[in-house]
Amino acid sequence: MYEFLIVGSGLFGAVFAHQAKQQNKRCLVIEKRSHLGGNVYCEKVEGINVHKYGAHIFHTNNKEVWDFVNNLVPFNRYTNSPIANYHGKLYNLPFNMNTFYQMWGVTTPEAAKAKIEEQKAEAVAKMKAESVTEPRNLEEQGLCLVGKDIFEKLIKEYTEKQWGRTCNELPAFIIKRLPVRLVFDNNYFNDAYQGIPIGGYNKLIDALLRNIDCKTNTDFFNSEYRDWRKYAKQLVYTGPLDEYFDFRYGKLDWRTVSFKTRIEDTPNYQGNAVVNYTSHEVPYTRIIEHKHFEMFGSAVYDCQKTVISEEYSTEYTEGKEPYYPVNDEKNNRLAQKYRELADKEVNVIFGGRLAEYKYYDMAPVVEKVISMF
């Protein structure tokens, strides 16, 4: 008899199993895929760790969380500094003095701020002329936060590709704020700690699940473990929330991502790990060049080939992987009904992005599980 049957070997399930084992609790982890690690799984191609399910960058301000993962596997010094490509012109992200220089040629924070305020005022004045006091949609919200140039070149079309909807169809609350930095700083995250496990995320998952019973190719809903009380005292469920309840109230909507990954016969394809393509003329949202997460300086050229992934954001359909909750009013109401059912389940813990219908970065998942113990 196990103490916990854990459905899913992604970060929530793996950290939970690790913490339970530290308290001498027996766990069984089951995973429907052929590999452990959920979406942080990496494949080795041409000596490069390829993030099979999209780029994962660990970042946190919580020293306890940073120390926890680094005690399992050392992390490197990767700093996320994405580039935006709009009709062939390049802009630094997040919005900072480099971006404003590239956009307008301004060289001082005062000049950049004045330009942004001028364009914000134009957006507010246009709304007032239409007797509108609050942004009615994402487009109006974005224009009021950063003005026309930044919104139209770096946000509008990229967001429409991500969501499959026009910005004036999307609710304003999706972007409550847009960070504007009046310093020359391309570091995307404000967190004190940031990096990638040396040797890839599989090292982290292997360390978390060391000496824990795990079964791959095992679908909870189509296996003997559906009757989980025969095997464990408690269930930890990290799969889709609506599926657990057999879609009683209907299906929750998701966005998903598909990848076209290929080997390029060059040591350095784009010079950066992440390049966003922010216009509709390019069908994918971004290109990831995986070697730049772990190879720096001359090491980039020691590896003669490179691997890139084009990312395409699409509507979720059966058979695809659910990635992002669609946090509109309809889905939030439906998710809440399922959460109320979940609260009534006895000896069942629902955790992680799918089971909570909530987007998580990696560090908050680790932090949440640590706090549970």
35: left (phi over 0), alpha (psi -120 to 50) or beta: beta
Nearest of 4, 57, 13 to residue 238 by alpha carbon: 13
14 assigned to some structural domain: yes
Tokens of 358: 């909530």
Does residue 317 surpass a pLDDT of 90?
no
Q: Are 197 and 238 part of one and the same domain?
A: yes
Q: Are 22 and 167 part of one and the same domain?
A: no
Q: Are 103 and 150 part of one and the same domain?
A: yes
Residue in the block written with tokens 């990638």: 196
Does residue 28 surpass a pLDDT of 90?
yes
Q: Are 335 and 221 part of one and the same domain?
A: yes
- Confidence at residue 277, expressed as pLDDT on a 0 to 100 scale: 98
The reported pTM is: 0.93
Nearest of 97, 146, 96, 95 to residue 121 by alpha carbon: 146
276 assigned to some structural domain: no
Helix (H, G, I), strand (E, B) or coil at 275: strand
Place 189 in a pLDDT band, splitting at 50, 70 and 90.
very high
d(CA 7, CA 243): 13
Q: Are 71 and 156 part of one and the same domain?
A: no
Residues annotated as catalytic (active site), given as ranges? 177, 181, 255, 286, 311, 359, 361
When divided into structural domains, the chain yields a total of 2
Q: What is the pLDDT of residues 98-120, one digit of tens each?
A: 999 999 999 999 999 999 999 99
Range of the domain at 139: 96-174
- Confidence at residue 326, expressed as pLDDT on a 0 to 100 scale: 87
Tokens of 162: 């991500």
